[in-house]
Amino acid sequence: MNRFTFILILLLGILFNGHAQAGYIIPENVKRILFLGNSITYSGQYVSYIEAYLTIRYPEKRFDFINVGLPSETVSGLSEPNHAKGKFPRPDLRERLERVLTQIKPDLVFACYGMNDGIYLPFDDARFQKYREGIKSLHEQVTKSGSLIVLLTPPVFDERKGKAYANVLDIYSDWLISCRYTANWEVIDIHWPMKKYLEERRLSDSTFMFAKDGVHPNNIGHWIMAKQVLLFLGEKNVAKAEDAVSALSLSSNGESILKLVEERQGIMKDAWLTSVGHKRPGMKTGLPLNEAQLKADEIDNKIRQLLK
């Protein structure tokens, strides 16, 4: 399927289904929200921005945000022959997904894959098929577990680091967006807003970049990602916010709350990853879950004081 066909599908979908990034209302019974992804999700700034904003905006909701992003991971099961200088192949989400869903029992899952799935090579139909199969398998397994799932398009790859691979992620993103209409999936597009922002900023500052390596976005890139998720959730007030700090200014303690959220996320993501288990060497060993939860509860009490 070429890009023209994708665009046609998108236009028809928008015509018959309204806005592409409409307001998704989180059901009342949703409490535990899980984020799956690779190193960009593990880094987690966008997760913390989303959590901090929704915590301030809806303090009565008491959502539990859990990040189990795993660096290097794919849904395609593919890996470069000499990945990590031959130390280990890329982890495959399918190896751990059942354990993640069984242990965590999320009500809602946000999943962001694709950046690693083309293994940084030019477009290839066989690799594209593996990515599609992996995404479909992920969607099916999460749905069968009884959880809701929302998929995010891959973040942008900086074409200055390789136009061929930037094009790969354009294609992967277009396919995933088309699944809104061909499969009735919930999909948030972060790819094209990131690309648009990158191109527009470079009109006034040719040196601007999200990522020195073309892959891992800085805080601005993470904010663009978080903003698209929040807009999807109907939070129109963030549309003009240039960064997370300005978005969180709806509370006088916004920055302090964000720092506490980031501290709690750092403790809990390593604890959950260690508890669930994975095959990615070099990861930090997290605290036992009960110890981590006690620390998280102490931080939560500080957040609640700042919310008053």
Q: Is residue 230 part of a domain?
A: yes
- pTM beyond cutoff 0.85: yes
CATH of the domain at 132: 3.40.50.1110
Q: What is the pLDDT of residue 23?
A: 76
- Give the C-alpha separation, 31 to 196, whole Å: 33
Q: What is the pLDDT of residue 214?
A: 97
Q: What is the radius of gyration, based on Cα positions, of the chain?
A: 19
Max Cα-Cα span within the chain = 54
Q: Is residue 161 part of a domain?
A: yes
Q: Is residue 135 part of a domain?
A: yes
The answer to whether residues 186 and 24 touch, using CB atoms and an 8 Å cutoff, is: yes
Question: Domain of 99?
Answer: 28-248
Q: What is the pLDDT of residues 208-220, one digit of tens each?
A: 999 999 999 999 9
Q: What is the pLDDT of residue 31?
A: 97
Number of structural domains (the chain) is: 1
- Give the C-alpha separation, 275 to 100, whole Å: 9
Contacts 24+ apart (CB under 8 A), 17-23: 17/180, 17/181, 20/177, 20/180, 20/189, 21/188, 21/189, 21/228, 21/231, 21/232, 22/232, 23/232, 23/233, 23/234, 23/236
102 burial type by CB count under 10 A (0-12 exposed, 13-18 middle, 19+ buried): exposed
Cα→Cα distances 10→5, 151, 159, 255, Å? 9, 16, 24, 38
Cα→Cα distances 80→83, 84, 129, 283, Å? 5, 9, 17, 20
Q: Is residue 190 part of a domain?
A: yes
Q: What is the pLDDT of residue 259?
A: 98
Reading the chain (308 residues) residue by residue, the pLDDT tens digits are 444 444 544 444 443 333 345 579 999 999 999 999 999 999 999 999 999 999 999 999 999 999 999 999 999 999 998 999 999 999 999 999 999 999 999 999 999 999 999 999 999 999 999 999 999 999 999 999 999 999 999 999 999 999 999 999 999 999 999 999 999 999 999 999 999 999 999 999 999 999 999 999 999 999 999 999 999 999 999 999 999 999 999 999 999 999 999 999 999 999 999 999 999 999 999 999 999 999 999 999 999 999 98
Q: Is residue 277 part of a domain?
A: no
The Cβ-side half-sphere exposure at 29, using a 13 Å CA radius, reads: 5
Q: Is residue 67 part of a domain?
A: yes
C-alpha 118: how far from chain center = 17
Q: Is residue 150 part of a domain?
A: yes
Q: Is residue 283 part of a domain?
A: no
Per DSSP, the three-state class of 152 is strand
